[in-house]
Amino acid sequence: MSKFLSSLQEKALLGDGALGTMLTQAGLPPGESPELWMLAHPEKLKIIHQAYLKAGAQVIQTNTFGANRLKLQEYQASSQVQAINLTAARLVREVVGRKAFISGIVGPTGHFPAPLGEYTWGQLVEVFREQMEALQKGGADFIFLETFSDLGEVRAALYAAKNFTTLPVACSLTFTQGRTLTGTSPETAAVVLEAMGADLIGANCSTGPQELLPIIEAYSKATNLPLLVEPNAGMPELIDGKTVYRETPAMMASFIEDFLQLGVKFMGACCGSTPEHILAMKEKLNSLPTAKPKNACTKKSFPTRLASRTKVITMGTNELPRLIGERINPTARKSIAQAFRENKWDLILQEAFEQIEKGADLLDLNVGLPGSNEGDLLPEGIRQLQMALDIPLVLDCTDPIALEKGLQEYQGKALINSVNGEEKSLTTILPLAKKYGAAVLGLTLDEKGIPAKAADRFKIAEKIVKRGLEIGLVKEDILMDCLVLTAATDSTLCLETIKTIYLVKKHLGVSCILGLSNVSHGLPQRSWLNNAFLALALGAGLDAAIANPHDSRISETLAAGALLSGRDPGARNYLQVAGKTPPASTKSTDHTNPLSTLHTYILQGQKEPIISLLEELLTTTDTDPLTIIKQGVIPPLEKIGDLFAAGEIFLPQLLLTSEAAKIAFSYLQKQLPAATFANKGTIVLGTVKGDIHDIGKNIVKALLENHGYKIIDLGKNVPTSSFIQTAKKEKAQIIGLSALMTTTMVEMEKVIQEVKKEKLTVKVLVGGAVVTADYARQIGADGYGKDAGETIKVVEKLLASD
Amino acid sequence: MNFFKVPLTLTFQEVLPFLKMNKEPSPQEKKLIEHYLMEIKQKAQPIGVWKTFPVKYWSPEKISLEGSPLLLEGKNTAQHFQTCEQITLLATTLGAEIDCLLAHLSPRNPAHALIADGVASTAIESFTEQLDCYLSTQIRRKGYFPTARFSPGYGDWALNWQKEFLISLDSKKIGIATTPYFLLQPCKSVTAALGWSNIPLERSYTAPSSTKKPAKKPCCSAHTCHYCQLASSCPDRFKY
């Protein structure tokens, strides 16, 4: 173990503070590259390093945050990567000798890996490699990746550090409101970076220490790695025209104890900090007793964890059994095969989304298409899917070359599906899992095929686990598929699979997954077999099934099986899946009283069952349509209006309710003589000239129609003359004008002036996002609708005053 | 000229304020929100562009920029950027497919349109915020202090400047245009200016406290919500 890492184990180390702040004070002109400036002013850098060393820093950083080829390109200096990094590391060494460690700082390139940015994974790795090799040569004790905001980019940097230097690597991301710029949480970062081999992880920059506490806490819950933190120096003040970070040194120091308790082993400061901060932190550190932090003593254990760029999914004996969607597989599905062949990724995405909507926790991605190159399709598929999906992918591929390309692209922690007991598979696939921080699924088969008996399958599983552990994988990252053969060929073999699951779970303790659908191949009613077999496997300890999420029974069996096998304490998941988590407010429908059921349907906006309920009411109870309208439709409509006015419900619910009421109303109206309902009034509606947004206008239209008004909708971007002509022709009582922007609301006044000029009796009602009551009065409108709900009332008032 | 592409990181909870839902929505509403969250994440092609211009000339009424036809005009506006040496102009959009979705839903199903519109508004705001955070970090690293975002249509900066704004960014490249009435197209697009102040500004820092206060928007403090470009979606709109 490196001296730096062993020092960390003994006690927490103190880093230095911001370089940027100090460089500006030392005379770095605005807009100039700090790295190039260093070459011209090495003595200034030494003064800064010396100041931090004197303040008590035990780790001093190199001035190389932007010393990569892509950043230096902005200053036409990309040829100086070597020189800058070597010089920077040597300058620190000249100052600190052996009194402090040197952190070789590597910052982001400013470019994300494709598809977000224009550089490939391989190009980024080369950029980082060049810088890191120079830092190591210059004498850095570890590589410090800091201020990264994209998991994909930091993963490329970490890969370069692990593979092209022999130094330990610290990874630090920057967070805003709990996520990195591209959406990664601390938990996800911990899972992915730990699997990739980071030695130290944490957060820097972002915000002050207070905001970083919950971030570090989240890290702490998700990893056993030592943590690092470098907060900004908080709030600056302006005193006598100078920027001062008063009080903050003490404030920074006041958080040290909290951070230590969470397992932080390396602490420094970022933007805005100075040697004063480091001094205050040093004094605080020295004043603390050397007792070990509470959390650090107990090593946390974790289940199997897989991750997308943004989300972690757990798997294991104490977790809910998971559903892995199997449908992105061209072998059995022509439409998928064609989509791959024609690069129709939107169809593949659609397929992915549908599976997620049906409850898939992970997605299997199989691109094995005869005549196509998996080595091209797998990475492309990953690029397409991983940006749009937040659930982890299972890479269904056994070609090591294609897998390696795919794993480079995947920014989370994937599951490789699969390795098996064959020597060739073990030696090619397992190292990939280690190198790229993935988990791996083992199949219990080898050169001789799938053994019939459970005991022989177990032996293969044992071998795969042993070999995985030998190359440095942890047990949680090795999973097993005990393989099921179709019941159509030999149904006696099915139970051997169940027995193997039991043995593997009991004696090897690794997570078990099953490719389920094979069991029913060639038989009718496949869902019966799949679900029965799933239930048996859950009983034996299965942790996840690769299955078809569109078979709704699968989710049901998983939920029921989870409950029955003791994985669902309090039946919380079961109740949720069963749809029985009743929010106190929704009352169940009362079938003994169809009118109150109608109320419920209308209030909840459930359109589908309304017609059959009305038919039932009309035929079996012989209630007349007018009574149903008066007692069944109007009361909930009035009630919802009141609830909306009182702020109890929101506009979408009001719309859903009134749509449901309209369906009931039009159906009943047809049962009555045509003249029963008089037209309540005619309204010409439109958005004014220049305005192309009409959602608000359409909402008002729907509500008015549902209240029985006749609406002539002129649409959007309507010229003044159309409003006038239509109002005349239709003998409308009201013109309703909508405008969203300040630039278009002036058109309203033109319509009003025209109405006056033509001496029409029609009233003008105005509304829209930017329109105020004042403005309505000012332009001489007859009414102003603040929102859709109020507009209904204003219309009633305007017509009543006629 | 720099391009910005990151995935949307939108959550259910973030959408509620944009739909003016200050408490639990109904089960039907929830279902619709979940559905459109997914559909909009799928259909949106969020992209941003930005460019930084040195300030050429400052007066209490207007600011002009080196190499741009844009004027940051108006007393509020000039005051907002008073201490800035440079100004970064940025534009973001969710792309035209979202317009198609909204145009399809609007006449057919207002309830769906309302929810989809709310989700899309949240998406463009959140995406713009992501870009803002990214740029702010860079501005701080270079020793300056970022101002809050300010857009044509905020305060007294007339919407009419959208055209010059877009020209300055050559935003045709990411498909943003303006109508003759200065409405941005696609409709879920944002333009904003971010100043590089050489002295600290109160609003440019998240104060170190655990209670999160939402960042104050300049339009809110100026009490001119009704003229704000975001008026229909601003969560603070009805507070004043």
Per-residue pLDDT at A589 exceeds 60: no
* pLDDT tens sequence across A266-275: 999 887 788 9
d(CA A762, CA A771): 20
Please answer whether residues B130 and A181 qualify as being in contact, where contact means their C-beta atoms are separated by less than 8 angstroms: yes
Per-residue pLDDT at A655 exceeds 90: no
With cut-offs at 50, 70 and 90, classify the pLDDT of residue A299.
confident
* pLDDT tens sequence across A469-505: 999 999 999 999 999 999 999 888 999 999 999 999 9
Residues A390 and A493 in one domain: yes
* CB < 8 Å from A in window 184-203 of B: 185, 187, 199-200
Q: What string of H, E and C letters represents the secondary structure of A86-115?
A: HHHHHHHHHHHCCCCEEEEEECCCCCCECC
Model-level ipTM above the cut of 0.95: no
A365 CA to chain B: closest CA distance, Å? 18
Mean pLDDT: which of A544-548, A707-711, B45-49 is highest? A544-548
Residues A561 and A609 in one domain: no
Per-residue pLDDT at A247 exceeds 80: no
Residues A608 and A703 in one domain: no
Residues A146 and A97 in one domain: yes
* pLDDT tens sequence across A439-462: 999 999 999 999 999 999 999 999
Residues A658 and A670 in one domain: yes
In chain A, residues with a C-beta closer than 8 Å to the C-beta of B181 are 690-691, 741, 743-744
Please answer whether residues A464 and A439 qualify as being in contact, where contact means their C-beta atoms are separated by less than 8 angstroms: no
Please answer whether residues B203 and A204 qualify as being in contact, where contact means their C-beta atoms are separated by less than 8 angstroms: no
Q: Is residue A625 in some structural domain?
A: yes
- In this prediction, residues A394-400 reach a mean pLDDT of 96
Please answer whether residues A223 and A200 qualify as being in contact, where contact means their C-beta atoms are separated by less than 8 angstroms: no
Q: Is residue A584 in some structural domain?
A: no
Question: Of A705, A665, A666, nearest to A685 (Cα)?
Answer: A705
* pLDDT tens sequence across B161-189: 999 999 999 988 889 999 888 889 999 99
- In this prediction, residues A224-234 reach a mean pLDDT of 89
CATH number at residue A753: 3.40.50.280
pLDDT the model gives residue B239: 33
Domain count, chain A: 4
CA angle A603, A609, A614 (to 5 degrees): 90
Report DSSP letters for A11-22, one per residue.
SPEE----SHHH
Per-residue pLDDT at A433 exceeds 80: yes
Residues A694 and A738 in one domain: yes
Cis bond upstream, residue A115 (ω within 30): yes
Residues A17 and A80 in one domain: yes
pLDDT the model gives residue A7: 93
Nearest CB to B143 within list A20, A149, A235: A20
For all residues of chain B together, what is the average pLDDT?
A: 82
Nearest CB to B28 within list A234, A656, A698: A656
d(CA B91, CA B149): 11
Residues A269 and A417 in one domain: no
Distance of CA A796 to the CA centre of its chain: 47
Nearest CB to B7 within list A183, A653, A743: A183
Determine the residue among A741, A766, A774, A792 to mutate to test chain B binding: the one whose Cβ has the most chain B Cβ atoms within 10 Å.
A741
Residues A697 and A725 in one domain: yes
CB contact under 8 A, B227 and A179: no
Domain that holds residue A774: 678-800
Q: Is residue A299 in some structural domain?
A: no
- In this prediction, residues B49-61 reach a mean pLDDT of 94
Whole-number percent of chain A with pLDDT over 90: 65
Residue B55's DSSP bridge partners are B65
Q: Is residue A582 in some structural domain?
A: no
Q: Is residue A80 in some structural domain?
A: yes
With cut-offs at 50, 70 and 90, classify the pLDDT of residue B32.
very high
Q: Does A247 touch chain B (CB under 8 A)?
A: no
* pLDDT tens sequence across A122-134: 999 999 999 999 9
* pLDDT tens sequence across A719-754: 999 999 999 999 999 999 999 877 888 899 999 999
Q: Is residue A587 in some structural domain?
A: no
Q: Is residue A41 in some structural domain?
A: yes
Please answer whether residues A134 and A82 qualify as being in contact, where contact means their C-beta atoms are separated by less than 8 angstroms: yes
Residues A415 and A394 in one domain: yes
Q: Does B100 touch chain A (CB under 8 A)?
A: no
CB contact under 8 A, A116 and B7: yes
Residues A660 and A683 in one domain: no
- Going from the N-terminus, what domains does chain B have, and what CATH number goes with each? 2-203+212-239 (3.40.109.40)
Residues A663 and A735 in one domain: no
Q: Is residue A588 in some structural domain?
A: no
pLDDT the model gives residue B137: 83
CA angle A151, A183, A113 (to 5 degrees): 40
* pLDDT tens sequence across A250-270: 888 889 999 999 999 999 988
Name every residue whose Cβ is closer than 8 Å to that of residue A474 and which is 6 or more positions away in sequence: none
